[in-house]
């Protein structure tokens, strides 16, 4: 599939890049060990399943999708800021204890 795209589509669009892409595709194929093609196919299937699941969830939530998205992002940011604040507090407390010791 990669070789077909490199040989047919790339020379029409950008002839200079076609040679570079062909060399990269050949290098990729040459460096793969046994099972490399199967691993790529499984990764593709996984990402395809994730994309389909995301589309299905988007259809189900409908207009509330933006609200859910902002809720998830906001919750993640609150947790990150709380964690950063805790780490900063612990670091400042440890530095203060080091400076107070005679």
Report percent pLDDT > 90 for the chain.
34
Name the burial class of residue 11, with classes exposed (0-12), middle (13-18) and buried (19+) by CB atoms within 10 angstroms of its CB.
Answer: middle
**Tens of pLDDT, residues 21-61:** 566 666 555 555 555 677 888 899 999 999 999 888 888 88
Distances (CA, A) of 21 to 10, 43, 102: 8, 21, 66
Average pLDDT, stretch 75-94?
Answer: 95
Q: Per the structure block, which two tokens stand in for 6?
A: 């490199």
| DSSP 8-class letter at 10 | H
């Amino acid at each position: 599939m990669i070789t077909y795209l490199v040989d047919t589509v790339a020379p029409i669009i950008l002839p200079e890049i076609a040679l570079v892409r062909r060399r990269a595709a050949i290098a990729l194929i040459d460096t793969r060990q046994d099972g490399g093609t199967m691993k790529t196919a499984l990764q593709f299937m996984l990402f395809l399943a994730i994309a389909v699941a995301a589309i299905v969830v988007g259809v189900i939530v409908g207009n509330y999708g933006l609200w859910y998205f902002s809720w998830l992002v906001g919750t993640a940011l609150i947790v990150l800021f709380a964690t950063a604040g805790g780490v900063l507090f612990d670091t400042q407390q440890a530095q203060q204890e080091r400076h107070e010791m005679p």
